[in-house]
Structure 1
């Protein structure tokens, strides 16, 4: 039974071999929800996220956030002694998350088929760009490439200027991280019924393709290929962003007639409301021009006051400094203070999920490379002499 504040995943123990963003964001969610996460890192090729700016007191803010609540064990996996440590760990840490290209873990002697013979309950989650099969399985890629190949980028951006680089990593996070957690937890539920673990193959491109929720459904069933600024939700209608007189932006999502009426009444242009549902592209473009003219008559502060008290689905575009001070986000406690070395704390984004029994308090920011090595090995039964020997041999960082 879960104790209050312990977290719903307190029974899970996870070995995390991932770096950068997709895997670490997935294991961050697991750790925030109470899972014990142990990072296995290379002592020779540290995670590049550790050096990514900006830095807070010499430590990457991104690393401190994405790897909070996790312990770190530095192992040179090219050495047999390090592989043997992992093989002992999987008897206790029966969930493994990795993000190498296909075949790398097999070559290290840590593939699923090898490790499941040690622990048949092992759940092994592999997050890759293109998955474990197919002609692109060994191909390098980044978020922008997965979005391009999945079709998502084909109907984002503007008709005249094309797709734009998105400010957050959709394929990495919504694709790899979140689907990785879903697949992992589904395998945990299955294991509770069968006693058997399994291998979960997560392709960020596959997952990005599945995010074509409405456009993809329309294309596959009806053959309708979405173009840029051609649909209701991608700029083909008045559902868009509008600039104020002083150069700020506002989001307008007044799709339903009652919201559209409230928008047009607030702008003193009630006659525009009837055009909100018009299927005529020309009328939609004219409506957008008229709305832009009205927004440009007012400054940011005036427009904020105008829409603050009405339900019109109109909200200002906030920068991060404004977002963290917004009363709605503050009421939801989206920022948390996380302890760090020296008794101070660092402001970080909180776990967005709310549980009636609560979550454990954040324990610490991202750990130093190999910071918990001796502690973990002692828990496995290694003596001080054996640990010193592993350090001398280079297996332990």
Structure 2
């Protein structure tokens, strides 16, 4: 694909979600990506339902814009092929546990000796160091150990199993791309490559952001439904008459005033600005009752022209048809490999120019 990274070539040894998502982002921005696929070890996303025709929807999405080369890395010829390829590549991305690439004979030190300008990014659950470096894990585990799950969800039901893979994508994939591109900039200045160590747990811990700052510097541990943004205020979701949900994020005074006026709750404007938990719960109860009186479609019509930070909770298919996301080109059509077109999520990164 055309884009600002057309000068970069990437060797991708990763499987499943974090690494492939990261290299898909690089491919979307123009990088040339070659997937190294193990013929004896099937990538689970390749056989994961649902399927579009004979192709897994997850696999076709994560491999778009990439070429594939099958190599059995346990064979000497395959290792030599990788060493030959790396002379002409800028970036290596791998997602094995620490030490695996070394045992295969194609670890960072070996490849760096062949290509000193190589940028090598290793994405793992816990990083290259520390007592958990060789421990197995998945998204739910990384979020748990990073403290994220502790302050999400409801007080009476605990943390929710997320519908998206936060540590994998927002943690591993995005931080990997940032680290890689930072190393590219450094290489432009020094001529030297770099090892980029991405831990999905580290990245998830960093996602705590404001709640983490409050805890570490202010000593305030955040529990579910106790803070401004995690259900402790009227900033929340509300069930409609037809069992859909409406999101209300009217935090600023001008927005909360408009919200209360629109709902016929003008007398409660001051409660929205109060830091007293009891006031927040009083307003919240009133909002629950009001929102339950109408359907989601009715609320959408009422708030269509109101700049009040009130929006419907849409399904993915509904979101794909929303005029804002359509205008932004967030649904694209891609050749799925058999001549048919497949709808996919578009790239959220937009550039003024199509190519560098």
Aligned counterpart for 1:136 among listed residues 110, 125, 132: 132
Partner Cα distance (1:84, 1:34) in 2: 27
For 1:264, the equivalent position in structure 2 comes to 260
- In the alignment, the residues of structure 2 paired with residue 209 and residue 340 of structure 1 have an alpha-carbon distance, to the nearest angstrom, of 36
Instruction: Indicate which of 288, 293, 296 corresponds to 2:289.
Output: 293
Candidates 52, 68, 83, aligned match of 2:48: 52
d(CA) in 2 for partners of 1:45, 1:6: 31
* 8 Å contact kept, 2:27–2:66: yes
Equivalent residue in structure 2 for 1:119, among 103, 115, 119: 115
Q: Which residue of 1 aligns with 2:60?
A: 64
Unpaired runs of 5+ in structure 1?
361-397
Specify the alignment match of 2:3 in structure 1: 7
Mapped to 2, the partners of 1:221 and 1:259 lie a distance apart of 30
Give the CA deviation at 1:342: 3.7
1:330 maps to which of 326, 333, 343: 326
Superposed displacement of residue 312, structure 1: 0.6
Counterpart check, 1:240 vs 2:236: yes
State how many pairs are aligned. 356
Higher relative contact order, chain-length normalized (CA < 8 Å, sep 6+): 1
**What residue is the counterpart of 1:274 in the other structure?**
270
Quote the Cα distance in structure 2 between the aligned partners of 1:266 and 1:277.
17
Structure 1 residues 359, 145: CA separation in 2 closer, same or farther (over 3 Å shift)?
Answer: farther
Q: Write out per-residue CA displacement over residues 309-339 of structure 1, whole angstroms, 9 at most, x where no aligned residue.
A: 1101000000112111111111111111112
Q: Distance in 1 between matches of 2:333 and 2:292?
A: 39
Distance in 1 separating the partners of 2:152 and 2:338: 46
Report the counterpart of residue 211 of structure 1 in structure 2: 207
Deviating 4+ runs (over 3 angstroms): none
Equivalents in 2 of 1:340, 1:144: separation in Å?
31
Q: Deviations over 1:91-146 (max 9, x none)?
A: 00121000000000000001101111111011100000000000000000000000
Question: Given the alignment of the two structures, is residue 102 of structure 1 paired with residue 102 of structure 2, yes or no?
Answer: no
Q: Partner of 1:330: helix, strand, or coil?
A: helix
- Give the C-alpha shift of residue 41 in structure 1: 1.1
Q: Does 1:74 align with 2:76?
A: no
Distance 2:292 2:2 in 1: 51
Write the distance in 2 (CA, Å) between the matches of 1:285 and 1:169: 31
Q: Within the alignment, does 1:198 sit opposite 2:194 as a pair?
A: yes
Residues 306 and 60 from structure 1, CA distance in 2 versus in 1: closer, same or farther, beyond 3 angstroms? same
The correspondence for 1:317, drawn from 297, 313, 320, is: 313
- Contact kept? 1:29, 1:351, Cα under 8 Å: yes
Q: Structure 2 CA distance, aligned partners of 1:359 and 1:320?
A: 30
Q: 1:358 & 1:274 partners in 2: Cα distance?
A: 49
Partner of 1:72: helix, strand, or coil? strand
Larger Rg: 1
Contact 1:32 1:359 in 2 (8 A): no
C-alpha displacement of 1:359: 5.6
Corresponding position of 2:27: 31
Rounded to whole Å, the distance in 2 between the matches of 1:131 and 1:342 is 39
Q: 1:53, CA displacement in angstroms?
A: 0.6
> What does residue 356 of structure 1 align with?
352
Q: 2:144 aligned to 135, 145, 148, which one?
A: 148
Q: Which moved more, 1:174-183 or 1:278-287?
A: 278-287
Structure 2 spans left out of the alignment, 5+ residues? none
Which of residues 208, 216, 221 is equivalent to 1:220? 216
| CA deviations over 1:176-228 (Å, ceiling 9, x no partner) | 00000000000000001111001000000001000110010111111110011
Task: Let me know the Cα RMSD of the aligned residues.
Answer: 1.0
Quote how far apart the aligned CAs of 1:272 are: 1.2
2:202 and 2:336 map into 1 onto residues whose CA distance is: 37
After TM superposition, the score normalised by the length of structure 1 is: 0.88
Deviation of 1:343 (Å) = 2.7
When normalised by structure 2's length, the TM-score is 0.98
CA distance in 2, matches of 1:182, 1:61: 26
